[in-house]
Amino acid sequence: MEPKDTLYSDYRERVADFVFDDAVAAVFDDMIRRSVPGYATVIAMTKVFAEQYAAQAGSVCYDLGCSLGASALAMRKGIICPGCRIIAVDNSAQMVKRCTEIVALDKGIVPVEVFQADIRDVPIKKASVVVMNFTLQFLSPDQRDAMIQKIYDGLRPGGVLLLSEKITFEDADKQAFETDMHHEFKKLMGYSDLEVAQKRKSLEKVLLPETLEAHKNRLKKSGFAKTHLWFQCFNFMSLAAFKESTTAERRKPPG
């Protein structure tokens, strides 16, 4: 069984900025499942998106900010098209080490390469599915346009970007409500008020959420023809952004 996340359970005089170190990598699966409402649904549906959109032989599926590889392994289960492979990237050495071990234990047959790199430096080529589940939010906002543009340019026509993020709201009441509900979710998942408060402090300068509109505008500006909000639970959402294609390129035939 995965170890339980108790990293913020003891009072800290000074809460340092959050980093993806050994301690976090060791409990990450438990941490993200109990912190992100709908995480299990987003991962489960990543399989379905891969099944539908990794439909071009020889294409590449990317998991950008892979952590322990949950999205990469979901895609591995879903891909039915021959000759596809998966590239999973994270810049945390500790995450990459654990992810490599986890992928090695998985019985899937689609090739998965896991490597340590900054996603800003990774070339995206011949992509059919690019997954960025809760990672763009950790890039500095002024670097996000270039990241999305690079993904758009590297996607084949008919490809999809799955972009899952924590979001913020313009309306102060809505922001307060969604933040509150997220904290209630964390308490329901067994975190104490102290844990919630200390974790929030640690992420304050590290995880910088934007509005849904800001994400949609960026995707549109980068060239994505269509963007669907397919999942939202409180202040967490996932968008599917499609690169235009002819019908023949689009997806696996129905039935």
Interacting residue with ligand GEK among 45, 95, 129, 155 (CB under 6 A) = 95
Could you tell me which of 177, 115, 150, 139 has the C-alpha nearest to residue 243?
150
Residue 32 near ligand GEK by CB under 6 A: yes
Q: How far is the CB of 114 from ligand GEK (least distance, A)?
A: 12
Alpha-carbon distance of 16 to 206, in angstroms, equals 11
Element (H, E) at 155: strand 155-168
- Output the smallest distance, CB 121 to ligand GEK, in A: 8
**DSSP of 149-212:** HHHHHHEEEEEEEEEEEEEE-SSHHHHHHHHHHHHHHHHHTT--HHHHHHHHHHHTTT---EEH
Under the criterion CB under 6 A, does residue 224 sit at the interface with ligand GEK? no
- Between CA 56 and CA 60 the distance in angstroms is 9
| 238 touches ligand GEK by CB under 6 A | no
The reply on whether position 242 binds ligand GEK by CB under 6 A is no
**CA neighbor of 62 nearest in space, from 131, 149, 123:** 131
Q: What is the amino acid identity at position 215?
A: H
Residue 135 interacts with ligand GEK (CB under 6 A): yes or no = yes
Q: How many residues bind ligand GEK (CB under 6 A)?
A: 20
Indicate which single residue of 90, 165, 178, 195 sits in contact with ligand GEK (rule: CB under 6 A): 90
Residue 71 binds ligand GEK, judged by CB under 6 A: yes
- Smallest separation, CB 134 to ligand GEK (Å): 4
Q: Given the rule CB under 6 A, which residues bind ligand GEK?
A: 20, 32, 65-67, 70-71, 89-92, 95, 118-120, 133-135, 138-139
